[in-house]
Amino acid sequence: MSMISSRWSRRALVAAVSAGWVAAAQAELPVQQQEQASGWFRMMVGEYEVTALYDGYTTLDTSLLSGMEQDEILRHLDELFIDAESGVQTAVNAFLVHTGENLVLVDAGSSACFGPTLGQVEKNLRASGYAPEDVDTILMTHLHPDHVCGLADENGDAIYPNAELRASQDDADFWLDKERSQALPEEQRAFFTMAQDAVAPYQESDRFSPFEQGDELLMGIVAQDTHGHTPGHASFMLNSDDDSMLVWGDVVHNYGVQFADPSVTIEFDSDPEQAASTRQAVLESAVADKYWVAGAHMPFPGIGHIVEDSEGYRWLPIEFGPVSSSDSE
């Protein structure tokens, strides 16, 4: 064999072996998993452990917003790389608060009321290390279905069998009034019926107790009047050591637009003018007092701070990191 043919033979052998290795490597490559991590996130507020629980998402069309031209709405969303072509993806979050004495769930998610992209609160609560039976108190920011349907299962039984359920008296008087709902046209009854069905097992077992705005519901947890979105919408201020967090429910639905202009309202607001006034006051307070905010419809985990911006306000989301308390610092 000549030197040239020998050289080519060696090259062919190397090429063949290399091709075999590449083929073997490609054959062993696992398929894409295309699954997300479990939907929970944990942090400390003073000595309170707060766990954000992802219920899932819905899409809200920008036509539901009022008080700003559509072109301007889309401009704000585009600047934040928020895709609005098929509706704005909008998270639904609940929050679990371990105070050391109580395990408190704030809102319960939507269960099966709004389709397969929602209804994950119970699953993620379990994934976070707790069980529904561990929860002793449920605080409702309001009684809209995406917050209340997760209280009961498909058989109408309480998912949280040991918990006392609490909602503001004003919201209870409005949404749980069967005479009021029956007087409405049938197409307007759905939200009332879903709220009444979800709350029923707690009422039947004498575990439903309305509160008044301003009440200290548990040590360090105070109900704050943030009505407007619903007649009795409440937020909950958590205070522990020198740290604070406002769990604000639906004060904001679309941060890309409503942070730029808090006067923009959404079709679901019972009293749009009051909802806008409440939102402005809460945003001002969050900036001035620098407390944490936990929002039901902020991008998961829905926790962060708010600062003033050249155009309205800006959201500063929490950074992922280890859970640490003052005892471990």
Task: Quickly list DSSP for 142-167.
Answer: ---HHHHGGGB-TTS-BSSTTPEEE-
Confidence at residue 329, expressed as pLDDT on a 0 to 100 scale? 46
The Cα–Cα gap between 162 and 133 comes to 6
pLDDT above 70 (res 24): no
Lowest mean pLDDT among 26-35, 84-93, 124-133, 275-284: 26-35
Lowest mean pLDDT among 170-174, 179-183, 316-320: 179-183
In this structure, the number of other CB atoms found within 10 A of the CB of residue 270 comes to: 17
The Cα–Cα gap between 55 and 113 comes to 12
Q: Which tokens sit at 321?
A: 């990191």
- Rounded to 10 degrees, the C-alpha dihedral 37/38/41/42 comes to -120
> Sorting pLDDT into bands at 50, 70 and 90, what band is 26?
low
The Cα–Cα gap between 98 and 108 comes to 16
CB proximity list for 6: less than 8 A, separation 6 or greater: none
Q: Which amino acid is at 56?
A: G
pLDDT above 70 (res 327): no
Q: Which amino acid is at 134?
A: D
Confidence at residue 99, expressed as pLDDT on a 0 to 100 scale? 98
Could you report the per-residue pLDDT of 235-270, keeping only the tens digit for each?
999 999 999 999 999 999 999 999 999 999 999 999
The Cα–Cα gap between 80 and 190 comes to 34
Lowest mean pLDDT among 19-28, 49-58, 163-172, 221-230: 19-28
User: φ and ψ at 312, to 5 degrees?
Assistant: 85, -120
Lowest mean pLDDT among 12-21, 88-97, 154-163, 258-267: 12-21
pTM of the complete model beyond 0.85: yes
Could you report the per-residue pLDDT of 30-49, keeping only the tens digit for each?
999 998 899 999 999 999 99
Could you report the per-residue pLDDT of 53-82, keeping only the tens digit for each?
999 999 999 999 999 999 999 999 999 999
Q: Which amino acid is at 131?
A: A
In the block, tokens 């408190």 appear at: 104
Quick one: average pLDDT of 277-289?
98
CB proximity list for 229: less than 8 A, separation 6 or greater: 142, 249, 250, 251, 268, 269, 270, 275, 278
Confidence at residue 6, expressed as pLDDT on a 0 to 100 scale? 54
> Sorting pLDDT into bands at 50, 70 and 90, what band is 112?
confident
Q: Which tokens sit at 64?
A: 């539901």
Task: Please give the DSSP secondary-structure letter assigned to residue 131.
Answer: -
Confidence at residue 12, expressed as pLDDT on a 0 to 100 scale? 54
The Cα–Cα gap between 181 and 198 comes to 15
Domains and CATH numbers, the chain: 40-321 (3.60.15.10)
Q: Residue 251 in contact with residue 229, Cβ under 8 Å?
A: yes
Q: Residue 241 in contact with residue 326, Cβ under 8 Å?
A: yes
The Cα–Cα gap between 6 and 226 comes to 85
**Torsion sign over Cα 278, 279, 283, 286:** positive
Of 248, 252, 220, nearest in space to 236 by CA: 248
Looking at the chain, the whole-number percentage of residues with pLDDT higher than 70 is: 91
> Sorting pLDDT into bands at 50, 70 and 90, what band is 157?
very high
Task: Please give the DSSP secondary-structure letter assigned to residue 271.
Answer: S
pLDDT above 80 (res 234): yes
Confidence at residue 16, expressed as pLDDT on a 0 to 100 scale? 52
Round the average pLDDT of the chain to a whole number and report it: 92
